[in-house]
Amino acid sequence: AQSVSQHNHHVILSEAASLELGCNYSYGGTVNLFWYVQYPGQHLQLLLKYFSGDPLVKGIKGFEAEFIKSKFSFNLRKPSVQWSDTAEYFCAVMRGGGSQGNLIFGKGTKLSVKP
């Protein structure tokens, strides 16, 4: 069965530190990849997505992610975090093609940014 692994359960950083959250998936075929973010008390919302093309994807709020097919990875990065980035981050994978669009989510990584 397909699965998504997020390596860190909780990451604590100081403001201005760089961020990298790991995400690996197990499906060997074509995939669409997503990072979702859930700020405290808010809806789960899309941060960025990869469907095809340039494997380095830019998202909102200065986030980016790189799809490395050979490593089955889609790590999320931000060069300098802010206190407002405190949230829970979820990596998700959808098998490519078709209209069904079922997502498989990782267990999430909580990010706490100290001011």
User: Which residues in this chain contact another protein in the complex, by CB under 8 A?
Assistant: 4, 6, 9, 32, 34, 36, 43-46, 49, 90, 92, 94, 99-108
Least distance (Å) between residue 76 CB and another protein = 15
Taking the least distance from each CB to another protein, the nearer of 28 and 101 is 101
Nearest CA to 64 out of 76, 80, 50, 49 is that of 76
Least distance (Å) between residue 17 CB and another protein = 24
Taking the least distance from each CB to another protein, the nearer of 19 and 37 is 37
Taking the least distance from each CB to another protein, the nearer of 41 and 115 is 41
The secondary structure of the chain, three-state, reads CCCEEECCCEEEEECCCCEEECEEECCCCCEEEEEEEECCCCCEEEEEEECCCCCEEECHHHCEEEEEHHHCEEEEEECCCCHHHCEEEEEEEEECCCCCCCEEECCCEEEEEEC
Taking the least distance from each CB to another protein, the nearer of 49 and 77 is 49
Least distance (Å) between residue 16 CB and another protein = 28
